[in-house]
Amino acid sequence: MEMVITLLKAYLLFTIGVMLVYSVRHYIFTLNRLFGEQRIYYQDILNSDLKTISVLIPMHNEEKVAANILDVLLLADYDKDKMEIIPMNDFSEDRTREIVDAYAQQYPFIKPLHRYEGERGKPAALNDAIKQATGEIIIVFDADYLPPRGILKNIAVSFQDPEVGAVMGRVIPVNTGGNILTRLLDLERSGGYQVDQQARYNLRLMPQYGGTVGGFRRKVLLDLGGFNTKILAEDTELTYRLSIHGWKVLYANRAECYEEVPEKWTVRARQIRRWSRGHNDVMFRYFFPLLTSPFLSFREKFDGMLLLLVYCVPVILLIGLIDSLFLFFWGDMSIFAGIFFLIFIGAYNTFGNFAPFYQVGTACLLDGVSRRILLLPFLIFNFFFNMWYISKGFFDACIDKLINRKAVWQKTERFRTTSNVEPSV
Residue pair 56/126 in contact by the 8 Å Cβ criterion: yes
Which 151-170 residues touch other proteins, going by CB under 8 A?
153-154, 160-163, 170
Stretch that binds other proteins, among 100-108, 307-315, 344-352, 408-416 (CB under 8 A): 344-352
| 371 contributes a contact to other proteins by CB under 8 A | yes
Write b or e for each residue in 329-362: b if 16 or more Cβ atoms lie within 10 A of its Cβ, otherwise e: eeeeeebeeeeeeeebeebbbbbbbbbbbbbbbb
Q: How far is the CB of 101 from other proteins (least distance, A)?
A: 26
| 79 contributes a contact to other proteins by CB under 8 A | no
| 298 contributes a contact to other proteins by CB under 8 A | no
23 versus 96: smaller Cβ distance to other proteins: 23
φ, ψ for residue 42, nearest 5 deg: -95, 10
Label residue 61 left, alpha or beta by phi (over 0 means left) and psi (-120 to 50 means alpha): left
Which 44-63 residues touch other proteins, going by CB under 8 A?
44-49
Among 107, 336, 395, 415, interactor with other proteins by CB under 8 A: 336
| 284 contributes a contact to other proteins by CB under 8 A | no
Among 28, 305, 369, 398, interactor with other proteins by CB under 8 A: 369
131 versus 204: smaller Cβ distance to other proteins: 204
Residue pair 243/304 in contact by the 8 Å Cβ criterion: yes
Q: How far apart are CA 419 and CA 64, in angstroms?
A: 9
Question: Sign of the C-alpha dihedral, residues 326, 328, 332, 336?
Answer: positive
Size of the site for other proteins (CB under 8 A): 111
Residue pair 200/206 in contact by the 8 Å Cβ criterion: yes
Closest to 242 in 3D by CA, of 295, 280, 288: 295
Give the CA radius of gyration of the chain: 22
193 versus 240: smaller Cβ distance to other proteins: 193
Q: How far is the CB of 408 from other proteins (least distance, A)?
A: 22
Which 193-212 residues touch other proteins, going by CB under 8 A?
194, 198, 204
| 222 contributes a contact to other proteins by CB under 8 A | no
100 versus 152: smaller Cβ distance to other proteins: 152
| 280 contributes a contact to other proteins by CB under 8 A | no
Among 21, 74, 305, 365, interactor with other proteins by CB under 8 A: 365
Among 17, 95, 150, 412, interactor with other proteins by CB under 8 A: 150
Which 239-258 residues touch other proteins, going by CB under 8 A?
246, 253-254, 256-258
Stretch that binds other proteins, among 4-12, 53-61, 217-225, 401-409 (CB under 8 A): 217-225
| 38 contributes a contact to other proteins by CB under 8 A | yes
